[in-house]
Structure 1
Amino acid sequence: MTATPDTVRGGKGLATGTLGLGGSVVIGLASTAPVYSLVATLGFVVMAVGAQAPIAFIVAFIPMLFIAAAYQELNRAVPDCGTTFTWATKAFGPRVGWMGGWGVAVAGIVVLANLAEVAGRYFWLLVGQESVAGNPAVVTATGVVFIASMCWVSYRGLELGERLQNVLLGLQYLALALFVGLAVWKVATGQAPGSDSVDWSWFNPFAFTDYSGFIEAVLLALFIYWGWDTCLALNEETRDPARIPGRAAIISTAILLITYVGVTVAAMAYAGVGEDGVGLANEANADDVFLALKDPVMGPLAFVLVFAVMVSAISSTQTTILPTARGTLAMATYRALPQRFAGVHPRFATPSFSTLMMGVVASVYFVGMKIVSDNILQDSILSLGLAIAFYYGITGFACVWFFRRDLRRSPRDLFLKGVFPLLGALMLSYAFVQSAIDMLDTEYGYTTLLGVGGTFVIGIGSLLIGAVLMAVWSTRARSRPFFRGESLNAETDVLVPENPESYPRSVDGGL
């Protein structure tokens, strides 16, 4: 079903009552792209901490769970699709809120470029064209086609996207189950090259030998969990906006923990953590572990894993567009961005202009990075954890401050609105600062820019660009109600500004 002019709409013009709990969980899981996330990070995590990779994923889950609690409580009180932008503005004022919204946008744009590349490369591998899969121009063009296709799906309506995600996520988990089953069977029958017995030391948080490596691994693991908050950005389109999105976030993170630790243990038991051959610490395999493991583990069924990686990247491409488009919609509704971004399609009830702009900007960034340097594109992915830690941390602090008067009402309020969000925000803040320091090292990533690590320049630079854009927009007449705290403040009603008639809710027609 797609939206029609008779669709029930909320304050910003989005269709209401579209998603239930199951659909929200699917969207949250699909946004993290479980298979793609493992492809992109597992090798680097093992290189950083060796056999402690499983506990690194568990440790990184703790701040994710704490921040998920913050999202749940803030959403319960303010179910607005602007999420971090809206909540941080209500808690700390317009400039902190604006930067929180920018962090969400930056993370989405950067990851879309990498998702597009992975989808493009694996598409050609799937059809047996390995030489074409190594052609940067063809892979880039294919990736742009996938971005455009997923923009079209997102533009046409949330229900179409939900049906697509049900299929794509199911395929991902079937492939992961097959991979784990075959890896365990080969370990049990002595056919594994690594054949490392599962050791409890893999789960020992005190066995890390390199502190910087531990911090790097945790930041990488934050990326692998990132994405569950998409179901919160769809809160206004959910049947029970105040409760379902928060529950879906908690459920999604728990499922992801089980998935990542299970696959990691199976892969380590099969391949080992050596630096040669299929060893997970082999630098040659780090940026695509499954590409190295698919044939030895799955044999003639290797194409299933290739297909799953492609599906995962495509799936996450669509679900990454959703929260960013709704975030910019909310920012424009409250005058934190130009009016055009507030456009909602009159038939499909989707953020039409914001969705299209997300696709255009991501495609331009992707093509530009491929032209300049593939290494810079890889460093941008390594820097992504900074943007994630940045806006998740802001959300955690915003939760504590927003509910500061409620913390003494009950133990539940104290922990879910205060202690847990604060601990999560502090952990992420520390990870942000320590990782930024580590990224200064020219040996950290693949490039050196301005005499320091390119990863640092890209990660911190992308956030500073947001500060510049915010300063420029704040000089425009239309932005004054926002930056003066009039269009959005602590007392503003949820979903819509105080004076809805004064602000745009639906301004463009569409394709």
Structure 2
Amino acid sequence: MSETLQQPAPAAAAGSGGSPQLAHGALKGADSIVMAVAGSAPGYSISATTAVLVGAAVLGGPAALLWCGIPMLGIALAFSHLGRSDVNAGAAYSWVRKALHPGLGFISGWAVVASATIFMVSGAVPAGQATLSLFNENRQWSTGAVTAVGAIWFLIMAAIVAAGVTITTKAQWIMSAVEVAILAVVGLVALFHEAGRHGAAFSWSWFSPTQFHGMSGFAGAALIAAFYYWGWDVTANLNEESKHSKLAARGGIIGVVIVFALFELYTIDINLFFSQDAIAKGSTSLPTMLGAAVGGSATGKLMIIAVMLSTIATLETTLIQVSRSLFAMGRDNTLPKIFGKVHATRRTPVVATAAVTLVSLALFVAAAFQSSVQTVMTDSVNAIGMQIAVYYSLASLAVTVVYRKKVLTSLSNALFIGVLPLLGSAFMIFTFVENLFGDSLSAGTKEIGLGGLALGLIPMVYYMVKKVPYYSRRERLASEDELLPQGAAEAAA
């Protein structure tokens, strides 16, 4: 069996049979940064996840975000290098296959599909909650009403994603700019606003790993913190549609830094302003409560708008991520080939988008019968955390394998393609294993997390037996300098 060296190719040349491909070059460098921030969705994450994080870490939320943020930066570095080595809409699905093993590559891709599909519900719930709060912020809306409104927003975003990546990007610029501006101003004002505080006095111990109840407590908080950051890697799935400038390749890294600052700011603010009981009761309304405490009802309404825009934006980026992953799998025939079909003029994976939309709507129906919004959020956040830990850990390991001959050639290489990515991989493996065998997660959450991954074994085994080229043809992923002419490679080194 021959081994080939993978060379990146323009998206227009990918695939076979001359079929239309994704819109190569539609995204510029700055677009990638906006997509990374929108994917992590600071407003949504603060709204959806803070109460869950406080339940696991109490006052240690800033520590969880810090100690998860460092390895997450290593993972972002890994994605940046691998994205330049292999331009593929499947991202980790393709990279892990070539660097480690086809089976692990497919599981990486399937973890993206499973986590993103589950997220459609947990992402739409705060959108529904925020929308209804604009009409009556004091009313306790039923889970069914919240889910129904969230489903409407989801369908609108699905239509925009199907319309094309250029329209999607323009919508993201508007939504993310307004969201980040509101969050930054309100968050900074709250940090220095003394009146109305009913929480704990600030302490640097909030950033200490000693805040957690043993390794199990730390792992549970880290799983939730990983969910905060998750989504920036949509930039990798947009590889085939991006102009590959250095800024575009580093969009995920810059995005992680921006959302880290916002997450820490708001976790500190919420610790300062609210008691543990108030946080638990506030649930997804915490940003609104913070805004009202700082500037009254008008500021509270502004925070509702920020959360709503953030949630809508991240629904859109998650739809992009899962549809591009399914597209890459269909193109390789590791899933039915029809998923690799692209609209002739809009150049979007229409079948993949439609399939995710239908499955998500079925999940919306199931979620509407849950006892509370908080139950939906807690179960889905933790289940998704388990799934993203799988593909983040494998992709981070892959970059060190690909660049193993370069790791020890300089101090910067040792740090940026060795230590930090390996730290990210080890951190995610630890988080997954500790939560799987620990008692911090409910049995139902583990069933959702593992069950979603296990479903992927069915198509994996089926297409392995069929010996599709993805599994039967060996390809090696080249490091960046191997893809350059000799002179350019020496200059880059």
Q: TM range, normalised to the smaller chain? A: 0.7 to 0.9
Residue 141 of structure 2 corresponds to 134
Residue 168 of structure 2 corresponds to 161
Native 8 Å contact 1:73 1:416 kept in 2 = no
Q: Which moved more, 1:333-342 or 1:292-301?
A: 292-301
**Are residues 1:436 and 2:436 paired?**
yes
Q: Tell me, in whole angstroms, the C-alpha distance in 2 between the residues paired with 1:92 and 1:46.
A: 37
Q: 1:46 to 1:117 in 2, by over 3 A?
A: closer
3-state DSSP class of the match of 1:186?
coil
Q: Tell me, in whole angstroms, the C-alpha distance in 1 between the residues paired with 2:96 and 2:11.
A: 28
Alpha-carbon deviations, 1:157-177, whole Å to 9, x = none?
A: 111111111111122122213
Q: Tell me, in whole angstroms, the C-alpha distance in 2 between the residues paired with 1:90 and 1:110.
A: 27
The amino acid that maps onto 1:26 is V
Native 8 Å contact 1:124 1:130 kept in 2 = no
Note the C-alpha offset of 1:139. Answer: 2.8
Residue 497 of structure 1 corresponds to none
- Equivalent residue in structure 2 for 1:490, among 459, 476, 479: 476
Residue 335 of structure 1 corresponds to 333
Q: Tell me, in whole angstroms, the C-alpha distance in 2 between the residues paired with 1:284 and 1:358.
A: 33
Q: Tell me, in whole angstroms, the C-alpha distance in 2 between the residues paired with 1:385 and 1:35.
A: 18
Q: Tell me, in whole angstroms, the C-alpha distance in 1 between the residues paired with 2:211 and 2:382.
A: 24
Residue 499 of structure 1 corresponds to none
Note the C-alpha offset of 1:312. Answer: 1.1
Alpha-carbon deviations, 1:357-405, whole Å to 9, x = none?
A: 2222222222223336654664132221101111100101222222333
Which runs of 4 or more aligned residues in structure 1 lie more than 6 Å from their structure 2 counterparts after TM superposition? 491-494
Native 8 Å contact 1:93 1:485 kept in 2 = no
**Are residues 1:147 and 2:148 paired?**
no
Q: Tell me, in whole angstroms, the C-alpha distance in 2 between the residues paired with 1:148 and 1:10.
A: 31
Q: 1:422 to 1:288 in 2, by over 3 A?
A: same
Q: Tell me, in whole angstroms, the C-alpha distance in 2 between the residues paired with 1:373 and 1:10.
A: 50
Q: Which moved more, 1:259-268 or 1:201-210?
A: 201-210
- Equivalent residue in structure 2 for 1:217, among 211, 217, 221: 221
**What pairs with 1:77-476 in structure 2 (closer than 5 Å)?**
77-128=85-136, 134-187=141-194, 190-194=195-199, 196-240=200-244, 243-271=246-274, 274-276=275-277, 278=278, 280=279, 283-301=280-298, 302-371=300-369, 375=375, 378-439=378-439, 444-445=441-442, 453-475=443-465
Note the C-alpha offset of 1:491. Answer: 6.4
Q: Tell me, in whole angstroms, the C-alpha distance in 1 between the residues paired with 2:309 and 2:131.
A: 9
Alpha-carbon deviations, 1:172-217, whole Å to 9, x = none?
A: 1222134324423531xx43223x4322222233444543222211
The amino acid that maps onto 1:461 is G
**Are residues 1:18 and 2:26 paired?**
yes
Q: Tell me, in whole angstroms, the C-alpha distance in 2 between the residues paired with 1:393 and 1:86.
A: 14
TM-score by length of 1: 0.84
Native 8 Å contact 1:183 1:267 kept in 2 = no
Q: Tell me, in whole angstroms, the C-alpha distance in 2 between the residues paired with 1:400 and 1:8.
A: 26
3-state DSSP class of the match of 2:186?
helix
The amino acid that maps onto 2:244 is D
Residue 4 of structure 2 corresponds to none
3-state DSSP class of the match of 1:103?
helix
Q: Tell me, in whole angstroms, the C-alpha distance in 2 between the residues paired with 1:292 and 1:491.
A: 49
Note the C-alpha offset of 1:78. Answer: 0.9
3-state DSSP class of the match of 1:192?
coil
Q: Tell me, in whole angstroms, the C-alpha distance in 2 between the residues paired with 1:266 and 1:378.
A: 22
3-state DSSP class of the match of 2:333?
coil
Native 8 Å contact 2:188 2:265 kept in 1 = no
Alpha-carbon deviations, 1:49-96, whole Å to 9, x = none?
A: 222221221101011011111111111211211110000111222211
The amino acid that maps onto 1:251 is I
Alpha-carbon deviations, 1:267-322, whole Å to 9, x = none?
A: 22222xx333x3x3xx3234542354443333121111112111111110001111
Q: 1:457 to 1:254 in 2, by over 3 A?
A: same
Native 8 Å contact 1:27 1:230 kept in 2 = yes
Identity among equivalent pairs (%): 28
Measured on the aligned residues, the alpha-carbon RMSD in Å equals: 2.5
Residue 42 of structure 2 corresponds to 34
Q: Which has the higher helix share?
A: 2
Q: Tell me, in whole angstroms, the C-alpha distance in 1 between the residues paired with 2:322 and 2:125.
A: 20
Note the C-alpha offset of 1:492. Answer: 9.7
Q: Tell me, in whole angstroms, the C-alpha distance in 2 between the residues paired with 1:108 and 1:390.
A: 13
Q: Tell me, in whole angstroms, the C-alpha distance in 2 between the residues paired with 1:257 and 1:493.
A: 29
Q: 1:184 to 1:373 in 2, by over 3 A?
A: closer
Q: Which moved more, 1:287-296 or 1:394-403?
A: 287-296
Q: Where does structure 2 lack aligned partners over 5 or more consecutive residues?
A: 1-9, 16-20, 481-493
Q: 1:38 to 1:376 in 2, by over 3 A?
A: closer
Q: Tell me, in whole angstroms, the C-alpha distance in 2 between the residues paired with 1:377 and 1:259.
A: 21
The amino acid that maps onto 1:256 is V
Tell me the number of residue pairs that the alignment of Structure 1 and Structure 2 aligns: 463
3-state DSSP class of the match of 2:193?
helix
Q: 1:364 to 1:493 in 2, by over 3 A?
A: farther
Native 8 Å contact 2:11 2:240 kept in 1 = no
- Equivalent residue in structure 2 for 1:71, among 69, 79, 91: 79
Q: 1:92 to 1:290 in 2, by over 3 A?
A: same
Native 8 Å contact 1:92 1:398 kept in 2 = yes
Native 8 Å contact 1:110 1:381 kept in 2 = no
The amino acid that maps onto 1:156 is A
Residue 3 of structure 2 corresponds to none
Note the C-alpha offset of 1:223. Answer: 0.5
Native 8 Å contact 2:402 2:479 kept in 1 = no
The amino acid that maps onto 1:191 is G
Residue 47 of structure 1 corresponds to 55
Q: Which moved more, 1:39-48 or 1:405-414?
A: 405-414
TM-score by length of 2: 0.87
Native 8 Å contact 2:71 2:423 kept in 1 = yes
Note the C-alpha offset of 1:35. Answer: 0.7
